[in-house]
Chains A and B, each alone.
Chain A
Amino acid sequence: MEDFFGLLGPILQSTVRNATPLVFAALGGLFSERSGVVNIGLEGLMLISAFAGVVGANLSGSAFIGLGTAVAAGLLFALIHALMTVTFEADQIISGTAINLLALGGTGFLMVAIFGSGGTSPRIEGFESVAIPVLSSIPLLGPALFDQSILVYLMYVLVPVVFFVVFHTPFGLRLRGTGEAPEAVDTAGVNVARMRYYGVGLSGVLAAFGGAYLSMGLLSAFTENMTAGRGFIALAALIFGRWNPIGAAGAALLFGFAQAVTYSVNEQAIPIEFIEMIPYVLTIIALAGLGGRAIAPAAIGKPYRKE
């Protein structure tokens, strides 16, 4: 029994840590996709933000300023995606892919330009874990949930906030409408392009939190391609969670748990490649219709052109 708890505690803590960037990015993707714009550029947005955060923190010596530069970078590149897909009606997959490639190449290049070498950046001032008194001493769950960086706490708050915004505010109604039937929203006098800019912009901000958590929460440095596919896993969580914030967060926790298990058990026991497969297999299952099909917003991927 001792052994079990001894193993489970760290696994749970690691689950939350693995899931946090996925939740942020999935919530971001949710805003974008609910407005009708596919954002496979989440991966790139996270990577750019992770890098920008480290640069900001490195120059200023403040983690909060680093977070600010991360969000600014995420927003900026998301708006580029919006400009391409909403204003110029470019293919959303191609634009997203361009952002991913740009992020990978751009951060690699800027690493050398700013820090003098590729690979890993200098250590910066990150967000340390802050144990919440009392709550963090709950056995097992306490350390897992309440001895984390403040970005994790922000994530806890954002999940219900996003749920409220999407399903209980006029903004959310318009956003969902825009992703389902933009012409209906348009004739109701709501500006479709503006709603999509909001959706994509918010995806950049939220993905930036995820990226900042990677380089300033989990680690205190930027390493090349440190997102390592998390943007795509976040998209998988979004789909598996049926474009619902609670569902997406649950899926992200599940994926985070799978990762945590691999890290903690003997590598020979379960091949890590097998665990890495899980999010995608579950996504395929969700899309194929097990337990009710995952149905995407109807107008997703299609540029809206006024007559």
Chain B
Amino acid sequence: MSDRVAGDGASSKGAPPVLEMRGVTKRFGAVTANDGVSLTLGRGEILGLLGENGAGKSTLMKILYGLYTPDEGEVFLDGERVEIRDPKDAVSRGIGMVHQHFTLIPPLTVAENIVLGAEPRKGLSLNLEEAVRATEELSERYGLKVDPRSRVADLSVGVRQRVEILKALYRNVRILVLDEPTAVLTPQETEDLFAVLKELVADGLSIILITHKLGELLGVSDEITIIRDGRVVDTVDAADTDEGELARLMVGREVLLRVEKEEVETPGGVRLAAENLTVRSSTGALAVKGVDLEVRGGEILGMAGVDGNGQTELAEALAGTRPVEGGRVFLDGADATNLGADARQERGLAYVPEDRGTKGLVQDFALYENNALKTYDEPPFSKWGWIFPKVMRRRAAEALRAYDVRPADPEARAGSLSGGNQQKAVLARELSGDPGVIIAAQPTRGVDVGAIEFIHGQLLKQRAEGKAILLISLELEEVRSLSDRILVMYAGRIVGEVGPEATDEQLGLLMAGRGVEEKSA
């Protein structure tokens, strides 16, 4: 399928590479985001672009897409030097991008979203039938199943991503850049996506896949370029490397990919419990339909499931930020159903919400303010209705250092931190109060390897101290490696309990709702 000789690196004989970036440098004030970065993408190739959050991957791709102008360096398309002025220019040159945060318009239909900016016309009017037809044709050709007439607002995240890809294909792109495409997908959806990508390169497209997940790159890419601190560390052949090497190149040191879980003596008493809990979602639908669970001291109870099966609502109901429709919540044996989030926190409940950006932190507040967000009204932060910023700063400085938040500067604005550091800042706040019960929802979503390692270590440390931990995660590997028991949630119900030794297949079946019949019968 490729006219390139395998492993011939940057200098391909015959046709020049589809894309070559040479010595690209981009500075933002004092910060150098890209420092002389070079990479090569061959025709029909999938290039993995690997690096931690903040390593400069996104900056590089924004340069390619015309969103930033490089300070130095050159970009070549098919051997010809080009200057890409803006996204429109990039698209007209055959470069398409699927952003990490989707750029779709929810109230519009799939077809409308796809043709936006390059609409088929019939006289003066928009030719919607043609838009639908073109969408159907593309969707059939590449196996990207989607209904052109449905509203994007009604679609799941996985389907929305397909729409994004179709949007690029509709514009006849030759180079497709995907920025962290699997961050929002379930294992099955990820597999489907990779199958589609392989189909696309077989059809002559060239793909750049940006990610910080090591494993998935090995299966799908041809070559992998690793970036650290704005520089290219190495470009390796995917066939000749392994996760360990990639992690080391990416982080710059040896990384523990497997967590070491020490055996804890038989777990203690039940500290967090739910009894026949029913919760409604924001749209008013029943999201949690009679869930029973018990988390004991010294254990991590994992909650697996495909996104949107009620885990979010369950976590919020347990944390006290969402009203309960029916059933009861117990904290250390006492009924906490009617307690608000503040009262539950005072009784030793810590909550790491899945959306740290909007629910975990106030982006425009300094870290010390965020650190006191839940306890600003208690001593030592406050007395007689008076708050003490000095104490807040001192405590925050300690917590930030203890939880390896970078920068450990209490004055830094939360929004200026990378995802991993924001998450560590949330953890610092939630865990430093020595809570008895911890609800951690997606604690490592969108977080780099180094931070994941740290967060996992902290959760296990809390477990060893006898805390009761409910871990809700979409990452099967995470649930399995940390949990003592695993519950699987499907359509608002617990559909099964398995041990950490459960296979992908077992979990996958439960997550897809198989076995529901036996359970509810």
Contacts and interface: CB of A to CB of B under 8 A. Distances in A.
B347 interface: no
Nearest to B112: A173
B394 to A, nearest CB: 36
Interface string A124-165: 000000000000000000000000000000000000000010
Given A173-B112, A173-B116, A177-B108, A187 B99 contact: yes
Interface residues on A, range: 20 to 34
Contacts of B108: 173, 176-177, 180
B227 to A, nearest CB: 19
A10 B506 CA distance: 77
Contacts of A177: 105, 108, 116
Interface string A186-199: 11111000000000
Interface stretch (B47-55, B119-127, B486-494): B119-127
A172 interface: yes
Contact of A186 (B87, B118, B124): B87
A270 interface: no
Contacts of B117: 174, 185, 188-190
A298 B106 contact: yes
A181 to B, nearest CB: 4
Nearest to A186: B87
A306 B86 CA distance: 11
A170 B121 contact: yes
B104 interface: yes
A169 B108 CA distance: 14
Nearest to A183: B103
Interface in A257-307: 298, 306-307
B78 to A, nearest CB: 21
Nearest to A167: B126
A164 B87 contact: no
A283 B460 CA distance: 54
Nearest to B121: A170
A17 B253 CA distance: 78
Given A173-B126, A176-B108, A180-B106, A307 B119 contact: no
Nearest to A170: B119
Contacts of A169: 124-126
Given A170-B126, A180-B108, A187 B121 contact: no
Interface of A: 164, 168-170, 172-174, 176-177, 180-181, 183-190, 298, 306-307
23 contacts: A169-B124, A170-B119, A170-B121, A173-B126, A176-B105, A177-B108, A180-B105, A181-B104, A181-B106, A183-B103, A184-B104, A186-B87, A186-B103, A187-B87, A188-B91, A188-B103, A188-B116, A188-B117, A189-B88, A189-B117, A189-B118, A307-B67, A307-B68
